C-alpha cells in the first residue's frame, strides 16, 4: 500500500502528462504481481466495492468526529475521501500497513453490515497518504488526471508493447489482469480476444478551423447531440460501450436486447420522444437522453417515455472482416447494407447532407433548428478508421453558441481542482423589465468557461457580496452580470424559469454592465427549440 499511495501522491502533484506516464510506467515495471494489476484497476476505475460508498465513510467518520465539523471540513476540502483521511484520529499503536492486494481483498469482503468496523480497522493501519489512497480506491473516481488512455500508454511504455493491442485486450480482461501482465512482462501467449465482444478505440474528430479543405474529398453528416456509442456482438454476447470505454450495456436493454448481428458498429445514442420536441419520431434533445444516463437498471416507465435508438455512423467489423483499414466510402456502402438487417425502430443511418460550398454548409448548419443537432461532421472519403484524434481525417464544425447576459444569484463551492473556491454559479434573467416590477429568476447553472484568474475574482466577489447562506449555498447581491454561452435552450422543470440550457458556460464577466440591463426571460423563450 505504501508504494501505491506514494505513486498516487506523486501523480497528484505532477503536472506534465509525460512525467505522469513515466511515473506510472516505472511503478508498473517495478511492482510485483498482483499489486500492480490492482493498482492499474484502481487508477482506471476498474474496481467496485459495493459495500464501501461515500455514505458509509461519512457514517464511520461521524462516529468519531463531530458531524458539523466534518460537514464544514468536507465543504471546504471538496472531497469526502480526502476530508476523512485528514480527520481520521488514527490508532495509538497501529498494526503494520496492509499490502495493496490485502487491502483490495479486505475491501471486497466487506458487507454493508461490516463496513463500519472493517474499514475503520484498515484505516487505523495506514498513515494519512495511505488512508487517502485507500478511500479513493474504495469509492472510485480518483480524479487525479489519469485517464484510461494514459494508463494504457504507461502500460505500453513499461513493457515496450503496442498500445493498440493493450486497448483491445483491456476490456475483456478483469483485474488484476494476470493474462495481460503475463503477455507483456513475461512474453507469454497473447490472450485471444478475436472472438470476444471487446471495445475498439473510437475514431475522433478535430475542430474545423478556417475553410482550407477541398470539400470534394469529404462527406458531410450532421453532428448529433447524443452520446457516441459502440455496439458489439460476438461469441453470443452483445455489449454497448461509451466513448470512454465504459460498458453501458445494462442501461439500454431495448438496444442491446435486439442486436444479434455479428459486427462492431459506431453511432450516436439518442432518445426518441414527444417530451422534448421529438413528436414526429425524430431525435429529442440531449435533455431527454440525460434521463437515461448513469442508470444501472431501467424502470419500464423510462423505456416508454424515453426510448433510445442508435443513429449509425460507421462499421468497424462485419462478421470476421475487420473493416477499419478500408476507406470511409467503402465502409459507408457496407453500413448501408448492414442497417437493412437491423430492427428499424432501434437503428437508423446518419444521413449524408449536400451543399455547393462552405457557405451552403454554413447556412444549413446554422438554420438546422433540430434540438439534437450540434453542427456538422466532415469525414475524408478515403480515411481509414483509426482510433484517437488524427488531424486531416475527420473534422467537427459546431454551431456558434448562443449567449445571454445573466445576473449571478447563488454560488456554491466546487470540488476537485476547484475545491474551496466558489465556482458553481446559478444565474438568472428578468421576468419583466425591473422598472415594471420584474424579478430575477434562475435559468441555469455553470461551473466552467472562466480562467483561473477570473475564478479567483469571482470567488472573492461571492465572499464580499454574500447576502444569505443556505447550507453550502451563498446568495449574493444581484449586481454582477455574466455573459453565458450555451448550445441550446429547452423547456424544463429544473429551474423556476421553466428553462434549461444545454452546456452553459461563463463566456465573460460583464463588470461594465448594470444588472438592470440583463437579458429578459421573453428573449430567452424566443430561443427555445
Partner 1 sequence: MAGPSWITPLADGLYLPGCDVWIDPAHAVGRALVTHGHADHARGGHGELFATRETAAIMALRYGAPATVHEVALREPIALGDGVTATFFPAGHVLGSAQILLERGGERIVVTGDYKRRHDPTCLPFEPVACDILITEATFGLPVFVHPPIEDELARLLDARARHPDRCVLVGAYALGKAQRLIAELRRGGYDRPVFLHGALTRMCELYAAFGVDLGMLENVEGKSKADLAGQIILCPPSALKDRWSRRMPDPITAMASGWMRVRQRAVQRNVELPLVISDHADWKELTGTITELAPAEIWVTHGREDALVHWCRTRQLRARALDLVGYEDEDD
Residues lying near partner 1 in the complex (CB under 8 A)? 12-15, 65-66, 68-69, 72-73, 76-79, 82-83, 86-87, 132, 416-421, 452, 463-464
Half-sphere exposure of 472 (CA within 13 A, CB side): 20
Min dist CB 11 to partner 1, Å, is 11
CB of 31: closest distance to partner 1 in angstroms? 20
Q: Which is nearer to partner 1, 15 or 301 (CB)?
A: 15
User: For 174, phi and psi rounded to 5 degrees?
Assistant: -115, 150
User: Minimum Å distance from CB 320 to partner 1?
Assistant: 48
Concatenated DSSP letters of 129-165: HHHHHHHHHHH----SS--HHHHHHHHHHHHT--HHH
Cα 85 from chain centre: 26
In which element (H, E) is residue 345 found? none
| Spatial separation of the C-alpha atoms in residues 192 and 526, rounded to whole Å | 56
Kindly state the smallest distance separating residue 52's Cβ from partner 1, in Å. Answer: 21
Q: Which residue's CB is nearer to partner 1, number 413 or number 478?
A: 413
Q: How far apart are the C-alpha atoms of 440 and 437, rounded to whole Å?
A: 10
- Complex with partner 1: residue 87 or 393, whichever CB lies closer: 87
What are the contacts of 204-212 at 24+ separation with CB within 8 A? 204/388, 204/389, 204/394, 205/377, 205/379, 205/389, 205/394, 205/395, 205/396, 206/389, 206/390, 206/391, 206/394, 206/395, 206/396, 207/395, 207/396, 207/397, 207/398, 208/378, 208/395, 208/396, 208/397, 211/358
Cβ closest to partner 1, residue 10 vs residue 431: 10
Q: Is 474 helix (H, G, I), strand (E, B) or coil?
A: strand
Given the C-alpha cell 449571478, which residue does it identify?
408
Count of other CB atoms within 10 angstroms of residue 189 = 8
- Taking the least distance from each CB to partner 1, the nearer of 429 and 462 is 462
Query: How far apart are CB 12 and partner 1 at their closest, in Å?
Result: 6
Phi-psi region of 210 (alpha: psi -120 to 50; beta: other; left: phi over 0): left
- Of 268, 107, 104, 248, the closest CA to residue 171 belongs to 248
Rounded to a whole number of angstroms, the minimum distance from the CB of residue 466 to partner 1 is 9
Nearest distance from residue 253's CB to partner 1, in Å? 39
Rounded to an integer, what distance in angstroms lies between the CA atom of residue 316 and that of residue 3? 40
| Least distance CB 76 / partner 1 (angstroms) | 6
Closer residue to partner 1, CB minimum distance, 76 or 274: 76
Nearer to partner 1 by Cβ, of 86 and 351: the residue is 86
Give Rg (Cα) of the chain.
26
Nearer to partner 1 by Cβ, of 79 and 487: the residue is 79
Nearest to 379 by CA among 164, 229, 202, 206: 206
Smallest gap from residue 438 Cβ to partner 1 (A):
31
C-beta of 416 vs 433, nearer to partner 1: 416
Q: Give CA–CA dist 170/162, Å, rounded.
A: 12
Amino acid at each position: 500500500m505504501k508504494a501505491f499511495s506514494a505513486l498516487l501522491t506523486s501523480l497528484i502533484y505532477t503536472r506534465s502528462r509525460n512525467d505522469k506516464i513515466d511515473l506510472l510506467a516505472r511503478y508498473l515495471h517495478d511492482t510485483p504481481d498482483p499489486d500492480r494489476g490492482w493498482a492499474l484497476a484502481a487508477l482506471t476505475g476498474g474496481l467496485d466495492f459495493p459495500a464501501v460508498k461515500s455514505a458509509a465513510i461519512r457514517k464511520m467518520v461521524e462516529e468519531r468526529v463531530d458531524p458539523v465539523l466534518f460537514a464544514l471540513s468536507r465543504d471546504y476540502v471538496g472531497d469526502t475521501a480526502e476530508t476523512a483521511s485528514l480527520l481520521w484520529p488514527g490508532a495509538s499503536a497501529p498494526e503494520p500497513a496492509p499490502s495493496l492486494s490485502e487491502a483490495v481483498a479486505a475491501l471486497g469482503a466487506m458487507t454493508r453490515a461490516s463496513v463500519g468496523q472493517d474499514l475503520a480497522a484498515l484505516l487505523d493501519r495506514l498513515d494519512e497518504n495511505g488512508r487517502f489512497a485507500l478511500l479513493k480506491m474504495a469509492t472510485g473516481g480518483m480524479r487525479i488526471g489519469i485517464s484510461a488512455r494514459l494508463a494504457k500508454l504507461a502500460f505500453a511504455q513499461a513493457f515496450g508493447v503496442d498500445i493498440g493491442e493493450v486497448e483491445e485486450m483491456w476490456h475483456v480482461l478483469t483485474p488484476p489482469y494476470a493474462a495481460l501482465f503475463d503477455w507483456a512482462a513475461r512474453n507469454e501467449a497473447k490472450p485471444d480476444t478475436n472472438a470476444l465482444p471487446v471495445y475498439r478505440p473510437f475514431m475522433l474528430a478535430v475542430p474545423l478551423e478556417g475553410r482550407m479543405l477541398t470539400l470534394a474529398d469529404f462527406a458531410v453528416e450532421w453532428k448529433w447531440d447524443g452520446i457516441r456509442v459502440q455496439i458489439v456482438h460476438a461469441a453470443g454476447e452483445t455489449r454497448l460501450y461509451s466513448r470512454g470505454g465504459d460498458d453501458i450495456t445494462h442501461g439500454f436493454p431495448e438496444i442491446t436486447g435486439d442486436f444479434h448481428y455479428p459486427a462492431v458498429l459506431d453511432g450516436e445514442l439518442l432518445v426518441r420522444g414527444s417530451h422534448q420536441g421529438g413528436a414526429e419520431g425524430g431525435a429529442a434533445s440531449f435533455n431527454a437522453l440525460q434521463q437515461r444516463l448513469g442508470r444501472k437498471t431501467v424502470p419500464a416507465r423510462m423505456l416508454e417515455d424515453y426510448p433510445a435508438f442508435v443513429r449509425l455512423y460507421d462499421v468497424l467489423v462485419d462478421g470476421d472482416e475487420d473493416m477499419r483499414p478500408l476507406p470511409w466510402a467503402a465502409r459507408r456502402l457496407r453500413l448501408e447494407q448492414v442497417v437493412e438487417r437491423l430492427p428499424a425502430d432501434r437503428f437508423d443511418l446518419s444521413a449524408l447532407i449536400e451543399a455547393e460550398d462552405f457557405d451552403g454548409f454554413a447556412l444549413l448548419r446554422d438554420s438546422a433548428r433540430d434540438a439534437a443537432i450540434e453542427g456538422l461532421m466532415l469525414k475524408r472519403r478515403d480515411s481509414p478508421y483509426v482510433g484517437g484524434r488524427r488531424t486531416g481525417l475527420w473534422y467537427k464544425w459546431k454551431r456558434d453558441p448562443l449567449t445571454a447576459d445573466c445576473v449571478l444569484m447563488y454560488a456554491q463551492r466546487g470540488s476537485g481542482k476547484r475545491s474551496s473556491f466558489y465556482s458553481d454559479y446559478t444565474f438568472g434573467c428578468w421576468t419583466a423589465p425591473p422598472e415594471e416590477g420584474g424579478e430575477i429568476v434562475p435559468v441555469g447553472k455553470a461551473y466552467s468557461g472562466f480562467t483561473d484568474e477570473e475564478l479567483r475574482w469571482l470567488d472573492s466577489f461571492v465572499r464580499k457580496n454574500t447576502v444569505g447562506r443556505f447550507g453550502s449555498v451563498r446568495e449574493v447581491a444581484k449586481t454582477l452580470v455574466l455573459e453565458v454561452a450555451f448550445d441550446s435552450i429547452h423547456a424544463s422543470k429544473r429551474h423556476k424559469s421553466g428553462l434549461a440550457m444545454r452546456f452553459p458556460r461563463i463566456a465573460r464577466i460583464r463588470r461594465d454592465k448594470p444588472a438592470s440591463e440583463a437579458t429578459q426571460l421573453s428573449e430567452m423563450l424566443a430561443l427555445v427549440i
